Structure 1
Amino acid sequence: MPMLRLHDLNELRERLVDVPGRIRVMATVANRTGLMWQLHASGVRTFVETLTGGAPNPSHLYRLHAANTPKRIALRWREQSLTFAEVEERLSRVAGSLLRRGLSRGSSMILMLKNRPEFVEAQNAATRLRAAAVSISWRSTAAELVYLATHSGAKFIFFNLELWPVVEEASRSLPGLPRSQFVAVGASAGEVPAGVTRYEDLLDAAPLDDSSVPVAGDDAAVVVYTSGTTGKPKGAVRKFPKDAFPAALRFIAQTPMRADDVHLVACPLYHSTAFAFLTLSQILGATAVLMDEFKPEWFLRDVERWGVTTTAVVPTMMHRVLALEPELLARYRTRTLRAIIVGGAPLPPLLGIRVMDHFGDILFNFYGATETGLVTLANPQDLRAAPGTIGRPVPGNEIKLLDDAGIEVARGEVGELYVKNKLLVAGYHKDEEATSASMREGFFSVGDLARKDRDGRYFIEGRKRDMIISGGVNVYPAEVESTLEAHPDVSEVAVVGVEDPEWGERVRAFIVRKPGTQLDDALLKTWSRERLAGPKVPRDFVFVDALPRNATGKVIKRDLRLWHA
């Protein structure tokens, strides 16, 4: 394959003279990550044609790398591997088939799938058509599937074959969707339910002719439904404007990510963390290893087997890994890891230290949300100096901490975190009231409370709806949780407020003990009183075997508030 020539670089510069800032970002990241030295002439030409010929979106990554390094492995799953050329061919055929079957720009389809290559292909096929891929939990009930399909207006539903009983039950309440628009994944020819389309049938179509897809720079490419810990999930409409690519590169520039990475997808792909970091790694042409589902020992096994260099997880995953027996932890070689990127839920300060003590100073903690994209990043030095911090804003993000009147709070004080960047969602699907309530003069909030220290680092103090007002004093659960987690016999903690006739609300702590310990409420009350002001000391301690969590690892505090209600 011909290597990159000076002529190709000149062509790239001349055709993109209107975006010098983007070029600088691209060149810097390409050089630092090693991508620059893997570019070939065909890859550069495809890159130029894509950026100047319309509206690029994440699905075009596969076209670029298929032209540049067609034989490089893009995806590994179980014993299967697919090159970038193969993924591009397959997703283009799926896109072409869906277009002919009625999926078009502005329409949507549901992916109710476990981690596997077909998830990536189908999601990118929808994006290629400028349709919305709605990723939902494969654990969804029939009632949840009906709500999500109806609310999103889905024209197709992709599902794992073993989920058919749930999907079939839901289909009875979706009369507008013929069975042919239900697509079974992982089914042999004889296993497909009557009338249902088999995924492989979509691959029999001709590849998509891009000229048949109207060009528009910011069509919805993904609708991600929020976790729904407080009620019905809301559909965040994620668009991919022209500024999305440089914004992604700015985040990559803050990390050790490289073009020769092997990235482990440990979170479910319907989760924003998994989708975001799969996309970031494949911007660079890295190989992604898809875990079927997360299990602590499987995580270590896959790191060792595939020489994994980066991964993105939620804190509870690292908690479960470090809870393994010491001899089991020591059995696996994990020195290939250069970055464990954690987010999606608050990182307990002590957990961050324990992760770095075991794996080395390779931990990065990000703050972001489905609605805001990636906002801040803390590197290992930050996490050693200020455990639990979410770090500083990634370039391209503007943050304001506001009180209830919309006035910025002083440094060190807690305020609601508002973000402004190029990757804010367009709003919530069919919910103008929720969209309006989340916006202030172009800034977006998901209801998180935060403070900023004198060094410019940010810290999440909890959710606005979780803040406790006891005797007129604001109590932030994160502070109480961090204090209790520091006790050597405590494994996990969640703090909520419950009604109290005297104080308005009182603080209640739910505690998971470490195995074999005899911790009781008297010991914890003494511990708390020595470290917390009076109103912050929990009045009640409830010992539980495990905290209730949703599918993405977040504690469901709504359930805890109902405890003994």
Structure 2
Amino acid sequence: MRELVSDAREKVFTAARFSHQTGYLWEVRPGAVGELVRALVTGAQNPATAYRIAAKNHPDKVALVHGERRIPFGDLDRLIDSAAHGLHAAGVRRGHSVLLAMKNCPEFVIASAAAGRLRASAVAVSWRSTPRELAYLANHSKARLVVCDPDVFRTLEAARADLSEELLSRIFVVGGAGQGAPFERLLSHEDRGPFVDAAPGEDAAVVIYTSGTTGKPKGAVRKFPRSAANAAFRFLCEVPLRVEDVHLVACPMYHSTAYAFMTFSHIVGNTVVLMDEFTPEGFLAQVERYKVSTTAVVPTMLHRLMQLPEAVRRRYDAHTLRIVFSGGAHLPPTVATAFMDAFGDTVYNFYGATETGLVTLASPRDLRSAPGTIGRAVPGNEIRLLGESGAPVPAGQVGELFVKNDLLVSGYYDDDAATRGSMREGFFSVGDLARVDDHGRYFLEGRKRDMIVTGGVNVYPAEVEHALMGHPGVSEVAVLGRKDEEWGERVVAFVVPAGDVTEGELVAFAKERLSGPKRPKEYHFVPALPRNPTGKVVKRELEGRLEPRTA
């Protein structure tokens, strides 16, 4: 009983702090309070609930901006209800999967939230998928229905032989005249009013397929337990979001970063602007036009923004930008510093994964004082760094990062072996290696599977990459191991030059900063690093470029 009381007190305190800090307290209306209480009592805390509450709180405030379209919260909530009725009429039921594959648009938000109201799973996948990839994702997720755009519809047509007739008969296309069923058909049930699930609970989920940089992507199943709202409030208490903010979605919405921060922004009641697809100058144009104050990006986007000529960056007024969340991949300290020097101390670097949710957060001050840090643990997270023996490692030493929190995925969809391999005593790991300093700040050292063992010495690619990125002639770098008869593995660096730089200069530069085993024995200069759609470097493609060594 004492634990229950303590838990309830903590939730009330967190919600009160969130309301006061964001300014939400001064705008909340009785109807919104009623919806929030109902959600807390029934356990219906999936993202669709945020739209029900927002519609009661500020129905006329613009929720989504896409091109010339403006959708207020009240209209958005009604569209979600209508789509939920439409999905139900099309045969989607609790526990079923709905595949979403389209560029950023309001229909993505509507369909995803509608699936949540049905207690179905919204499976977000890349619109760049090939026919073979799309067939795998549809079949593996056991999708009952697809919502896509015309380009993806053509990809599905190319994969027709590998898809069931049932699924092919349930493809709804956004803006595709004569292709599949029009998405508007799902919205033809507005007269039926709010969609209410007779048996609420935490079955609703989103399934996000991991990037698949080392093999077939795995579907991470994220459900929304009764503690979901409190977990969101905890994070929002750590950042300076305000009710008047305008948020820009720059990442593709099938990416966890885009979806999570859009949801956080809508919880606070922010207007959200959707970019079709990121371009550096287009990003700055949107910031100026809509007076954007918050956004969430992957580090590659920051790098590309800083690659713009200074004269181009100065054309746009970006003074309203207060918060730039960066995550999803390693943020080079040089990129973070350069961006903050140009745009102010706005960067908040977070660590998290599709499987774990948000784990750590570094403020601009952290990034200035401890370059490369991913920050301290966000309240609600318990972190363990474990060595090869499974025992915790002391501060300063590298271990595999395991985390436990309220929003861990329930596992990988239809892959019990992968789920078991990632769990240890209720803690989850995606294979990242990290260390923690005496101030509680964490630093990533690479991936467990990427660790290089050369001459019996463990070399962490991230450490070598950090060192080489300090050279002014290096724009980007990726380090990996290559089989070697003498050393077991040798350290190899792929370098994207920022100007005229020679291998000899990098050899001398590394010698001053890295001990012998950590210094690359080969340098390969490339025009760009191969990346997947979410910005992560695909090292297996770099490995494929290396010619076999002869003895």
Match of 2:284 in 1: 300
| Aligned match for 1:479, one of 454, 457, 463 | 463
Q: 1:75 aligns with which of 61, 64, 81?
A: 64
Q: Deviations over 1:41-67 (max 9, x none)?
A: 222222223322452321011111111
Task: Select which of 174, 178, 198 maps to 1:192.
Answer: 178
Q: 2: CA distance between counterparts of 1:144 and 1:525? A: 41
Whichever residue aligns with residue 222 of structure 1, its letter is V
The CA deviation at 1:23 is 1.7
Report the equivalent of 1:285.
269
- Tell me the secondary structure at the aligned position of residue 218 of structure 1: coil
Contact 2:477 2:495 in 1 (8 A): yes
The yes-or-no answer on 1:344 pairing with 2:328 is yes
Matched to 2:445, the amino acid is E
Identify which of 512, 520, 530 aligns with 2:502: 520
Q: Distance in 2 between matches of 1:49 and 1:166?
A: 42
Q: CA deviation at 1:24?
A: 1.4
Q: Is the 8 A contact 1:54 1:215 kept in 2?
A: no
Cα distance between partner residues in 1 of 2:280 and 2:187: 35
Aligned pair count reads 543
How far did 1:18 drift? Answer: 8.5
What is aligned with 1:4? none
Question: Hey, what does 1:262 align to over in structure 2?
Answer: 246
Q: How far has the Cα of 1:342 moved from its partner?
A: 0.3
Which residue of structure 2 aligns with residue 105 of structure 1? 94
Alignment correspondent of 1:3: none
Q: How far does residue 17 in structure 1 lie from its aligned partner after superposition?
A: 11
2:526 is the counterpart of 1:540: no
Which among 413, 416, 424 is matched to residue 397 of structure 2? 413
- The answer for the alignment partner of 1:558 in structure 2 is 540
Distance 1:131 1:260 in 2: 32
Tell whether 2:344 aligns with 1:360: yes
Compared with structure 1, are the counterparts of its residues 238 and 178 closer, same or farther at alpha carbon in structure 2 (3 Å cutoff)? closer
Q: TM-score, normalised by structure 1?
A: 0.94
Q: Distance in 1 between matches of 2:362 and 2:42?
A: 37
Alpha-carbon shift at residue 178 of structure 1 (Å): 4.6
Q: What do residues 227-282 of structure 1 show as CA deviations (whole Å, max 9, x unaligned)? A: 00000000000000011111111111111111111000000000000011001111
Q: 1:75 is paired with a residue of what secondary structure?
A: strand
1:340–1:363 CA contact under 8 A, matched in 2 = yes
Cα deviation, 1:102-155, whole Å, max 9, x if unaligned, reads: 111100010011000000000000011110000000000111111111110000
- Helix, strand or coil at the partner of 1:99: helix
Contact 2:480–2:492, Cα closer than 8 Å, also in 1: yes
**DSSP 3-state at the match of 2:379:** coil
The answer to whether the 8 Å contact 2:45/2:228 transfers is: no
User: What letter is aligned with 1:551?
Assistant: P
Task: Give the 3 Å change call, closer, same or farther, for CA 334–377 of structure 1 in structure 2.
Answer: same
The 8 Å contact of residues 401 and 417 in structure 1, kept in 2 or not, is answered as yes
1:41 paired residue among 26, 30, 34: 30
Match of 2:151 among 151, 156, 162: 162
1:379, 1:207 → 2: CA distance? 47
What are the residue-to-residue correspondences of 1:103-252 with 2, within 5 Å?
103-187=92-176, 191-193=177-179, 196-206=180-190, 213-252=197-236
Residue deviations 1:358-398 (CA, integer Å, cap 9, x gap): 11111100000000000000001110000110000000000
Q: Does 2:412 correspond to 1:423?
A: no
2:302 is equivalent to residue 318 of structure 1: yes
1:31, distance to aligned residue in structure 2 (A): 0.7
Distance 2:7 2:426 in 1: 26
Identify which range, 141-150 or 214-223, moves more after superposition: 214-223
Aligned partner of residue 561 in structure 1, secondary structure: helix
Shift of residue 180, structure 1, vs aligned partner: 3.2
Contact 2:350/2:374 (<8 A) preserved: yes
Q: How far has the Cα of 1:209 moved from its partner?
A: 6.5
Paired with 1:555 and 1:207, the residues of 2 have a C-alpha distance of 48
1:263-307 Cα shifts (integer Å, max 9, x gaps): 000000000000110011110110100000000001111111100
Superposition pairs of residues 345-494 of structure 1, within 5 angstroms: 345-494=329-478
Alpha-carbon distance between aligned partners in 1 of 2:212 and 2:341, rounded to the nearest angstrom: 34
Distance, in Å, in 1 between the alignment partners of 2:437 and 2:162 is 52
* Alpha-carbon distance in structure 1 between the residues aligned to 2:117 and 2:76: 13
1:350: how far off?
1.0
Match of 2:512 among 506, 530, 539: 530
> Is 1:272 the counterpart of 2:256 in the alignment?
yes
Give RMSD over aligned pairs. 1.5
Letter aligned with residue 446 of structure 2: G
Distance (whole Å) between structure 1 residues aligned to residue 205 and residue 237 of structure 2: 24
Letter in 1 for 2:356: T
Quick check: 1:157–1:181 contact (8 Å CA) kept in 2? yes
Shift of 1:208: 6.3
Looking at structure 1, the residues matched to 34 and 231 of structure 2 have their Cα atoms a distance apart, in angstroms, of: 22
CA distance in structure 1 between the aligned counterparts of 2:111 and 2:294, rounded to whole angstroms: 24
